[in-house]
A and B are shown apart, each in its own frame.
Chain A
Amino acid sequence: MLHYAYRHLTSKLLVLFLIVIFQTPLVAQPDGAALFKANCTACHVTGEDVVVGPGLKNVHLKYKEDWLIKWIKNSQAMVKAGDAQAVKVYEQFNKVAMPAFSLSDDEVKAVIAYIKAESEAAPAAPAAGAAGAPAADAGAAAGSDNFPLILLLVTILLIALFLILNRVQKGLQRIVDQRNGVPEPVILRGKAGVKHWIREHKKLIALLLIVGFVWGSVEGWNALAGIGIQQGYAPDQPIKFSHQLHVGQNKIDCRYCHSGAEKSKNAGIPSPNVCMNCHKYVKKGPQYGTTEIAKIYEAIGWDVDKQAYTGKTKPIEWVRIHNLPDLAYFNHAQHVKVGGVECQTCHGPVETMETMSQFSPLTMGWCIQCHRDSQVKTENNGYYTELHEKMKKQYGPDVKLTVEKLGGTECARCHY
């Protein structure tokens, strides 16, 4: 144990040592990390991935410092002047011109020093965290999936135990009876036995019948009432997209991807070009690695290696969750933009959903209830200025102006 702790300590000291080594020279000079962040990260990473320009890992080993300084200050001049190495780099990365940067030699050197430090420090730290997390997740998931099965097994075992013990007890009782000279009871078999048992257990049977009837009625009622209601429906989707990750952790607004929610009847399922705004860069997810993101690339026809579109597209067949019948009209823009209703009011805590599920029943009763309860936000609401004035006159200034009072429960509002 002591030995283990000691080893832990040395590794910590080593990290500290490395940090000190790579930080000290940067303190006096320009801050390479800040310069890199301000000027380079739009196109480059310190790892190996090609983003817009190449990944800069170990770039200090590939090129001489003088050449790098010249290149960073004005790469296009070098290409035009016919510098062989410059032309090669330019052509290798799809002839995307790197702009000229007005940095001093010292500043460029600081940036190169930062890349050097990152190249050498990079591999150890993130790998350990990334490997640990999914394993734990997988364990937890497997546990919850097996739960009913384990319960069933335990129940069967308990019943078996009960039966065995019952037999043993009866056997022992028989032996005791024999010893005491009690005559063996007459055991009735077949029809007569059943009849006898029923006569003996009228109360138990009545109780079971009552319990069964009540339970059956409740279940039956719920089953009938649940016909056509898909509340809780959470089908497997072709891409395992996690709202918990994108909304909960990354805090991307719902309306970034579902930009139709404010403008149209449909909130809209984002087309893959919206995914590509981030996933051109993010090629690996925390849970499924590259497999799920690769499906976006396949759908939109993006060649990761060449960083170019192939033109071969394939629609993603998402499974519809929320489905209103054609007889009912619903408009997202009217509710989100005009009414100011939060997405979560109807869709629930989407930011916590790993798999998207239907939160609300979407029944007519549910719609009507909300139209009766919700107060219309008339303040600064230009959509109904005239109507609001009229309503205020009709009902008086203090009345709660609900959607129903604006005619929101009339049949033809939704059924036409």
Chain B
Amino acid sequence: MSDLKRTPLRDFHAAHGARLVDFAGWEMPVQYRSILEENKAVRRTAGLFDVGHMGEVDVKGPGAARFLDHLVTNDVSKLFPGRVIYSPMCYPNGGVVDDLLVYMRAPEDYFLCINAGNIAKDVAWLREQAKGFAVTVTDRSDDYALIAVQGPKAAAIVQTLTGAKLDAIRYYHFAEGTVAGVHCIISRTGYTGEDGFELYHAKGDALALAEAVMKAGAPHGLELVGLGARDSLRLEAGYPLYGHEIAADISPLTAGIGWTVKLDKADFIGRAALLAEKTNGAPQQVVFFKTGDRRIVRADTPVLGADGTVVGRVLSGTLSPILNEAIGSALVATSSAGKPLAVDIRGTLIQFQLVKPPFVTLKKSS
């Protein structure tokens, strides 16, 4: 795996028994002990994730606010310093370039967090779209490391390491401060559906910070959590994953995250196509399902309508450790979405029970 990129915590993971795999060109821990047990630890106590592969971009300048509002589908004008917003950014046809977090640090100073597999594509897209706006776009992905501490005990654990008043940082807000002596963007966000923090920091500080969090978390039952459990946690929460529920050919409306598309704001890339989709209806839609069966319904499995014809395909599928049954998402013909859907797994027809996510009761703060 010598060609793979590494986060500063790669050796830390190996020393903690991680199984390292290629994820989007990065050598990342998929699990330490057990994907199922790591998932449960996050729901019950807390988990520490290395998400240092994610990309970071600075967007600065007098035109930054207008540029970002043109770029993404959600309403960036609602931001104020210390506030974060989740948004897709779309192509003119309404397909998704990527989904990202937009942080407003100060007027004219914004910070984006983007998916690891999309960094080069996104930065090129941002620079192209920035033409004509008074902004500078700087890829900071090589400067930042990122860990997430997630779960009902996350706040108690992080609070032991910082003088920042974490109670004052509400969900989808952030503050800058030190955690275990390391300067961090302390962001009350995550990808698990639990309360928790994402801590952006300089790469050189990553090992010290991770070890401090591990030590502080041990009495609370904090566990290291790999990308395997990260995927089942986000699917239980009903959060989209780029390349699965949202993609260049799956719009945010099709994906069921229309709340992130503000058609009433000023013009933005993809608005006309998304308005047409909203007006005319989309031919396909993303649905979430559970099956009452433990057999995992894997991505790309054909979805069958009541008459046995293929009406769609599975986008994501895993076993929910909390529900102890298969859960997933699928892209299906809109005309079939209210009717019985099933998949054939090794000769057994398994019926979908459609679910409006989240699949589990979430305890994230608000």
**Does B associate with A?**
no
